[in-house]
Structure 1
Amino acid sequence: MTYTDGNNDPQLAVVTQGLVKAYGAFKAVDGLNLQVPAGGVYGLLGPNGAGKSTTMKLLLGLTKPTAGSMWLLGQQVGKKTTIQPGRVGSMIEGPSFYPGLSGLDNCRMVADYLGLPVSAASEVLTKVGLRGYEKRKAGAYSLGMKQRLGIAVALISQPELLLLDEPTNGLDAEAVVEVRQMIMDLAASEGVTVIISSHILSEVEKMAPMVGIIADGHLLYQGTLENLREEGHIDLRVSDPGLVAEMLETQGIQHEYIRKSATLRIPGMPDPQIGALVTRLVSHGLQVYRVASERKSLEEAFLELVENPQNHVAQGPVKPFGHKQRSAR
């Protein structure tokens, strides 16, 4: 099979192009272009109903795309092609297990189905911190232990890619910290690529250096949270705001007049660019009294995106994590 546009790039674990999932006239996912670097934690962030779970189901082949293309671990997947069982693990819409069976027996069932040795069940339960509780019925587990069991089931085949849908949802503070640390350790020490979905910004911020922010089925931003925060604004206080506004208009620079502070507000830009702008203003005989740069908080930047999705488009390609990657099977 021939791949184009870098979709077989070993530094990318997941690539989607123009991915669409429609239910009649409603598009749950609309033109999604993801690039997920291999070997780290990637956060799929957005409000409830944004299309996060649908995206994960598309990647797993649990629902078929209406349009678009997908590549997982360098292999194109879609309506007629799926990735080799065991290379991808998942926990979608909560952990799945038989409550009347022990944690160990639940994992043994999955190991048997995948043709894995019985020892794989004990090993994965130790990995997720359930050693000593493996013979207890899963239905008697705490919420945090149930999440761990769900992740254990997803990990039993030693997948290269792990998809976790809201992995800390409903957990108490202590369990959230434990599950979060476990996810980060998996990515850092074993080279597993982990995609987590969440509607909680603060939770994703603690785990994922790279994010894709979606709302109404659209990818609004892709990159680091730090870069998102840097997209603040610059306030200019000048001798003739009207003339400066005209100059900004001719240069295609968005602006608004803040009456309270008598300043012109423009989008954030690199220092050399703002320096060149100030130089042009001075060369036209204008006096620049004040230049103030203000970065948005992460919460402000996130809310601006998801509350006005029609005004935003996703950023370009993302850079690799730099974590070690698991060798291809």
Structure 2
Amino acid sequence: MNTIIKVQDLVKVFDNQEVIKHCNINVEKGSIYGFLGANGAGKTTVLKLIAGLLKPTTGNIMISDMNISENRNNILRKIGCIIETPIFYEHLSAEENLKIHNAYMNFCDADINAVLQKVGLENTGKIQVCKFSLGMKQRLGIARAMIHNPDILLLDEPINGLDPMGIKQMRDLFRTLAKEYDMTLIISSHILSEIEYIADTIGIISNGSILKEIPMSAVKQEFPNGLEEYFFEIMNGGNNCV
């Protein structure tokens, strides 16, 4: 497989404090990367750096072999992201919300009906967003993030607050985007069981440092009780883990 995202020795300093500490991350094209860590570990900051919403203090972020600091505009066309809870014009329809987004972002050639179908919201384009469930709003947010056909989706805690059916629908959607549309997803979460279902690779971050990056298949082989056991072993300083 080809590495589409390569983060090299990434450092971010806020107010003279190093909050991201020499991080290295490798994500393969068409894969789902589960980005794990407690609240405040640095997941969101790393995603914002990859998305170009923050500038690194030092280090490099390579997207498709291009350095984001040197090719920012070209690279941002390859990335879609939901870093915070999606906000919509609730009194407008899903279609109208996406049209406003397209006009603002100058995505004139975007196919609204096609992207709604990709996320499982076909036949809902004329419905006011205020009538959507939370899960439907999350899928609409993903539709907005990928309406320009990016290669990469960055999703920060996308299943928070969803009921079991909503979580299953999102899980199925993520798999579909990766397998059928060859999209690369980085999904940050602290819900270990869901990442275990869908991730090809996991990265574990704590206090701004990457503790481990490993294929999910290797975790399952070494820890038959699952990702939760492995995660807490790593967080507790386990030295015998794969």
- Calculate the TM-score normalised by the size of structure 1: 0.68
Partner of 1:298: 227
Contact 2:31–2:183 (8 Å) recurs in 1: yes
Gapped runs of 5+ residues in structure 2? none
Separation in structure 2 between the aligned mates of residue 32 and residue 220 of structure 1, nearest angstrom: 9
Q: Which has the larger radius of gyration?
A: 1
Separation in structure 2 between the aligned mates of residue 171 and residue 12 of structure 1, nearest angstrom: 31
- How many pairs align? 240
Partner of 1:274: none
Say if 1:296 and 1:27 are closer, same or farther in 2 by CA, change over 3 A: farther
Contact 1:114–1:157 (8 Å) recurs in 2: no
Query: 66, 72, 95: which one pairs with 2:63?
Result: 72
Query: 161, 180, 193: which one pairs with 2:184?
Result: 193
Which structure would you say has the larger RCO, counting Cα contacts within 8 Å and 6 or more residues apart?
2
Say if 1:122 and 1:165 are closer, same or farther in 2 by CA, change over 3 A: same
Cα distance, 1:174 vs structure 2:
0.2
Partner of 1:268: none
Post-superposition CA distance 1:132-164 (Å, at most 9, x none): 221222233110010000000011011111111
Give the letter for the 1:115 counterpart. F
Separation in structure 2 between the aligned mates of residue 176 and residue 296 of structure 1, nearest angstrom: 22
Give the letter for the 1:14 counterpart. I
Three-state SS of the structure 2 residue aligned to 1:299 is: helix
Separation in structure 2 between the aligned mates of residue 131 and residue 302 of structure 1, nearest angstrom: 38
Instruction: Flag as ranges the 4+ runs of structure 1 deviating above 4 A.
Output: 229-232
Partner of 1:287: none
Say if 1:117 and 1:81 are closer, same or farther in 2 by CA, change over 3 A: closer
Cα distance, 1:81 vs structure 2:
4.0
Partner of 2:108: 116
Say if 1:109 and 1:140 are closer, same or farther in 2 by CA, change over 3 A: same
Indicate the larger mover: 84-93 or 38-47. 84-93
Give the letter for the 1:82 counterpart. R
Three-state SS of the structure 1 residue aligned to 2:160 is: coil
Give the letter for the 1:151 counterpart. I
Separation in structure 1 between the aligned mates of residue 46 and residue 130 of structure 2, nearest angstrom: 29
Partner of 1:24: 15
Gapped runs of 5+ residues in structure 1? 1-9, 233-294, 316-329
Partner of 1:219: 210
Cα distance, 1:114 vs structure 2:
2.8
Cα distance, 1:98 vs structure 2:
2.4
Percent identity at matched positions? 38
Contact 2:219–2:226 (8 Å) recurs in 1: no
Contact 2:5–2:62 (8 Å) recurs in 1: yes
Cα distance, 1:179 vs structure 2:
0.9
- Calculate the TM-score normalised by the size of structure 2: 0.91
Query: 21, 33, 36: which one pairs with 2:24?
Result: 33
1:127 aligns with 2:56: no
